[in-house]
Structure 1
Amino acid sequence: MKTPPAPRIPKFLQGVGFAVNRQWLTWYAARRFGSVFTLHMPVFGPTVFVTDPQLVKQLFTANTADVGNIQPNLSRILGPGSVFALDGVEHKRRRRLLTPPFHGKSIKNYERIFEEETLRESASWPEGREFETLDPMMRVTLNTILRAVFGADGEQLDELRRIIPPWVTLGSRLAVLPSPSRTYGRFSPWGKLARYRRTYDETIDRLIAKVKADPDFESRDDVLTLLLRSTYEDGSTMSNRDIGDELLTLLAAGHETTAATLAWAFERVTRHPEVLAKLVAEAGTDDNEYRQAVILEVQRSRTVIDFAGRHVYADEFQLGEWTVPRGYSMVVPINQLHSGADAFEHPERFDPQRFIDNKPSALSFMPYGGGTRRCVGAVFANVEMDVVLRTVLRHFVLDTTTAPDEKLFNRGVAYQPKAGGRVVLRRRTTVLGG
C-alpha cells in the first residue's frame, strides 16, 4: 500500500501547527511533499491533503459509498437534521428538497430585501472617516437571511437577531475543537452553545406554528414556508427539528461567510483604483458583468472557507498513485487551488479581468466547495453580494487608499480581514442610475 508521504514532525506538533496557522502548515507540506501529503490533525486524525485539480476531481466524483462527508463535521454544532449530517441516499434526498427554494428564479424574489437591508444599515454610516465594514455586513446578511430564509418578522425576528450573532461567533470557534462528552455547566462554552440552541429551537417552533396558521400560507415565498410545503418522493415531510437544523445550517453557512466576503470586497477595491472606477461606471447601469468578475476575484484571492473535506468509508480508496486507508480524512485546501499558477496567471495579482468572458474551472475554483456537497445556497449568496455592492456603489463614493493590505484573521472556520475591511466613504448627492 503506497500511502501519501507525511512529515516526520511529531503528531502533537503537527496538530499545534494546524491549530495556530493551518494555511502556513499546508503550504509548507505542499512545498516539501508535492500535491498529495498526509498530516495528523486535531479532531480529524490522519488526513490526506489534495492540491492537484485532477485528483480533486477524482475525489469529488467518487462513489459516495466509498468517500462521504468528512467526520466529524459541522453537524455536531448545527444538529443531526442538518444536511452536513447526511450522506449517500439521504443526503441526495435532502439536497433535492432544498434546491427549489434556492433556484435562480426564486432568488430574484429576494433582491428587494437585499437592497432594503443595505439601505437600512447604511443610513447610519459615518462620512469622511474610516470605519469597519465587517460588522455592518454581518448585520445586513443576518437580516436578509432572517427575512428571506426564515420569513421572520416581529418578535421572532428580534429574538433570532439577538441570539444568532453570538451563537455564530461561538460555534465557529468551537467547530474546530474536539467535542467534550458533556457541556461542563451553563457557563462553559459548550453550555452556552446548548443554551443558545434551546432558545433557538423554542423560537423556531413558535415561528413554524405562526407560518402554518398564516391564511396566506400557500402564497408565501420565504424558504421556511417552501420547506414546510415540500415533500419527499414518498409524500413524507421534514420534521420541525430537521427544518430548524437546516435553517440554522443555511444561516451559519451564509451569514458569516457572505459578510466576510463583502468586507474583503471593500478592502480589495479601495486598494485598486482602476477596479473601483470600473465598478462605479457599471453601477449606474443594469449590467453586472464586471461586478460579478470582482466578486469571483475576491473569492479567489481572499478565500473565506479554505478547505473542503471527505471521509474514506471503503476499505481503501485509490487516489491516483496513492492508496488512502479506511477511516482517513481527505481535505482539499481551496486557497491553494485558488493560488495555482497553472490555473490562474499571476495569481498574486488582484485582477477581476481574468473572469471576464472566462468561466472559471470547477477543478481550480470552488469558493462554495465542490462535488455533491457544494453549498446549496451559492446562488443566494452570489446575488446577495451583487446587490449589496451595487447598492453601496450607487449611494456612496468610496475613497481609495494606499494602506497596506489587511491581513487574514482566522475566526475558527472563516477567514476575515483582520482590521474589519476598513473604508472611508461619502454619500452621493445624486444616486447613480436613480
Structure 2
Amino acid sequence: MQTRSPLPPGPEEPPFLQAMRFGRDPYAYLEDCVRRYGDVFTLRLPGDPPRVVSSDPAIVRQIFALKPDDYAQGKQSFPMNIGENSLLFLDGDRHHRERQLMMPHLHGERLRSYAASMCACTDRVVDRWKPGAELAIHSELQDITLDVILRCVFGAEDDKRAARIRGPLLTWLNGAMTPALFFASALLNANRVRAMLDTVVRRRLAGGPVPRRPLLPWEKWGAAKAEVLEYLREDVERCRKEGTAGRSDVLALLSEARYEDGGLMDMEHVQDELVTLLVGGHETTANSLTWALWHVLSRPEVLAEIRAERKRVFGDNPFDPARAGELVYLDACIKEAMRITPIAPAVGRHLRRPMRIREYEIPSDTIVWACVALAHRRTDTWGDPARFRPERFLEPGAAPTNHFFPFGGGRRTCLGMAFAGVEMRIVLGRILERVELRITPGSNAQAEIRGITITPSKALEISVERRLPSRSS
C-alpha cells in the first residue's frame, strides 16, 4: 500500500530543473505552480529540504507567529557569505540581544540625520547623466546605494577612504550576486557554497597561501571580502581607541554600543552586522528602486501626480530631503512597486518542530515559505493585482502585514526597513526632480534572480531626455 506524502503536492520535475525554471523567471514559475497545485504547494530544490509554499494570508500569519524555538534560522538556505554572526543567522536570545543593540542606530532621529547625505549621494551620480545618454539604470542606482552605505553606514565620508573600500566591495558583491553562484547553490546546497566561500576568506585573513594555479573566481571574491573585513576591523579599532567625535555613521556607533551588561560587541559581530547592512542596503535597495522607476516611467499619469505632489509640498523651494516623508504619494508608488515586483520571492522558516498547515502535518526539517511574490498578487486581496495603482496605499488599513510584507514579518522583520524607506523616497524623489527620463524603446524588465533577489534583467535601459530647471535656493 502506497504511503501518502505528508507534504502538499508540487512540481514533479527533477529538483535541478525546478531551480532552473525558478531562477529564469521566478514570478512566472511561482504563478504556474499556483495554477497547477493551488495556493499551498511544495518545491524541491537541489540539496535542500522541501519548501512548503503558501500565500494564503491565514497561513502567512501562522508562519510569522512561529516562536523562536519553532525554527532554526541559522540553518536557512542562503548562499551569500555575509558572516555567521549576522542577525540573519542568529536564533533566540542571541538574535534578540543583537537586534536590540542595533535598532536605535537605524531609526528615529539618527535615521533623519542621514537624509542630507542620501541626497548628496544621489546628486553625485545624477550630475554625470547627460541629455541623450542611455543608462544601464540598475548599475547607476547601485552606485547611489553603495555610496549611501559607504558614507552613512561605513563612515567613509571623504573620497580617499571611499575609494579604498569601493573596489574590493564591488569585487566581492558582484561575485556573490552572480547568477552562476545561484545555480551552484541550487546544485550543491546553498549553505555548502557559503561555507566554501567563508573558508577562502578565513584563509586570506590568516595570511594563508594563495593557490599557485590561476586565481579562481571564489579565491578572488574571498580575497576581496577579506580586504573589506580588514578595513572594517581597522576602523572599529580606531573608533574604540580614538573616540568617535564628529561621526554619526553606523560603524562608529556600533563600535561604542554596549549591551545591558556593559560589554562591547565582539569585533566579528560588528563586521558581520555591517556587511549584512551593506548587502541589504546596497543590492536590495537598488533593485527596489529600479523596479519603482520602471513602473513610474511606464505611466505618465503617475509621474504627473508625483510632480504635482512635489509642488504641493515644496512649492518653488528646493527639494528638502529632511521632509521626504511628506511625499506620501511617492511613498505609495514605491510600495506599489514592491507589491507588484517584490525583490524577495519569499520569507522562509526552517522548522525545528512539526507544523500543521491545513490538513498537512509538516514535519521538522522542512522549510515553510510565506510567499511574498504570490501574496502581493492575490486577486482576493488586491482586486486587480496586475494594475499599478499607488492609491491602494493611501487608503486606511490597506496593507496588513500578512498581505503585504516586502521586508518580512514577525519577530524578524528587516531591521533596515525604515532606513530603506527613507533612502528610496529621497533617491527617487531627487532623480525625478532633476531629470526627465524615459524607458529606452525595445528595453524590457524581465525578472531574473540575481544572487538572493529578483531584479529586472540587464536589458532594461533608461534614456535621459533633458535636465529639468533647478529650483531656487
TM-score by length of 2: 0.85
CA distance in 2, matches of 1:402, 1:14: 33
Identity %: 31
Q: What residue number does 2:295 align with?
A: 268
Q: 1:12 to 1:130 in 2, by over 3 A?
A: closer
Conserved? CA contact 2:75–2:350, under 8 Å: yes
Is 1:52 paired with 2:56?
Answer: yes
Q: Give, in whole Å, the separation in 2 of the partners of 1:159 and 1:41.
A: 39
For 1:143-162, list aligned pairs within 5 A. Answer: 143-154=147-158, 155-162=160-167
Say which SS state the counterpart of residue 376 (structure 1) adopts.
coil
Contact kept in structure 1, 2:149 and 2:282, CA below 8 Å: yes
In structure 1, list runs of 5 or more residues that go unmatched: none
Post-superposition shift, 1:169? 1.9
Instruction: Quote how far apart the aligned CAs of 1:379 are.
Output: 0.6
Is contact 1:260–1:415 with CA below 8 Å preserved after alignment? yes
AA aligned opposite 1:158: A
C-alpha deviation, 1:6, in angstroms? 3.2
Amino acid at match of 1:199: E
Decide which of 246, 256, 269 is 1:242's aligned counterpart. Answer: 269
Q: Which structure has the highest helix share of the two?
A: 2
1: CA distance, partners of 2:241 / 2:432: 41
Asked whether 1:373 is paired with 2:400, we answer: no
In 2, Cα distance between the equivalents of 1:236 and 1:156?
29
Q: Give 3-state SS (helix, strand or coil) of 1:24's partner.
A: helix
- Aligned equivalent of 1:202: 230
Q: CA RMSD in A?
A: 2.4
- Partner amino acid, structure 2, of 1:204: L
What amino acid is the match of 2:359?
A: E
Distance 1:196 1:346, change over 3 A: same
Which region of structure 1 is more displaced relative to structure 2, 253-262 or 281-290? Answer: 281-290
Corresponding residue for residue 390 of structure 2: 352
Secondary structure of 1:423's aligned partner: strand
Alpha-carbon distance in structure 2 between the residues aligned to 1:11 and 1:76: 21
Structure 2 partner of 1:28 = 32
| Contact 1:258/1:381 (8 A) holds in 2 | yes
Rounded to whole Å, the distance in 2 between the matches of 1:224 and 1:303 is: 29
**Aligned runs of 1:138-287 on 2, under 5 Å?**
138-154=142-158, 155-173=160-178, 174=181, 177=185, 178=189, 179-180=192-193, 182=196, 187-215=215-243, 217=244, 220-284=247-311, 285-286=313-314, 287=326
What is the 5 A alignment of 1:89-108?
89-108=93-112
User: How much has 1:70 moved relative to structure 2?
Assistant: 6.6
Q: SS in structure 2 opposite 1:343? A: helix
- What's the counterpart of residue 115 of structure 1? 119
C-alpha distance in structure 2 between counterparts of 1:74 and 1:120, whole Å: 33
2:379 match: secondary structure:
coil
Change (3 A) 1:281 1:22: closer
Residue 271 to residue 130, structure 1, CA distance change in 2 (3 Å): same
Q: For 1:162-196, what per-residue CA distance to the aligned partner results, in whole angstroms no more than 9, with x for missing partners?
A: 11122112112336613357569573333222212
CA contact (8 A) 1:77 1:175 kept: no
Shift of the alpha carbon at 1:291?
Answer: 0.5
Aligned residues of 1:74 and 1:84 also touching (Cα < 8 A): no
Q: 2:466 aligns with which of 420, 426, 431?
A: 426
Q: Which runs of 5+ in 2 are unaligned?
A: 201-210, 315-325
Q: Which stretch of the first structure deviates more once superposed, 261-270 or 19-28?
A: 19-28
Check conservation: 1:73, 1:85, Cα contact below 8 A: no
Residue 66 of structure 1 pairs with residue 93 of structure 2 = no
Match of 1:393 among 423, 432, 444: 432
Amino acid in the other structure paired with 1:138: Q
User: How far is 1:22 from its partner?
Assistant: 3.9
- Secondary structure at the aligned position of 1:305 is classed as coil
Q: What is the Cα deviation at residue 75 of structure 1?
A: 7.8
SS at match of 2:392: helix
Residues 302-327 of structure 1 deviation map (CA, whole Å, 9 limit, x = unaligned): 2112221110111x122233211111
2:361 equivalent to 1:323:
yes
Instruction: Report if aligned partners of 1:75, 1:85 keep a CA contact under 8 Å in 2.
Output: no
Q: Matched residues in 2 for 1:166 and 1:257: separation? A: 17
CA apart distance, 1:138: 0.7
The correspondence of residues 126-137 of structure 1 with structure 2, limited to 5 A, is 126-137=130-141
Q: Write the distance in 2 (CA, Å) between the matches of 1:399 and 1:23.
A: 25
What letter matches 2:445 in structure 1?
Answer: E
**Size of the alignment, in residue pairs?**
431
- Letter in structure 2 aligned against 1:360: A
Indicate whether 1:340 and 2:378 are aligned. Answer: yes
TM-score (norm 1): 0.92
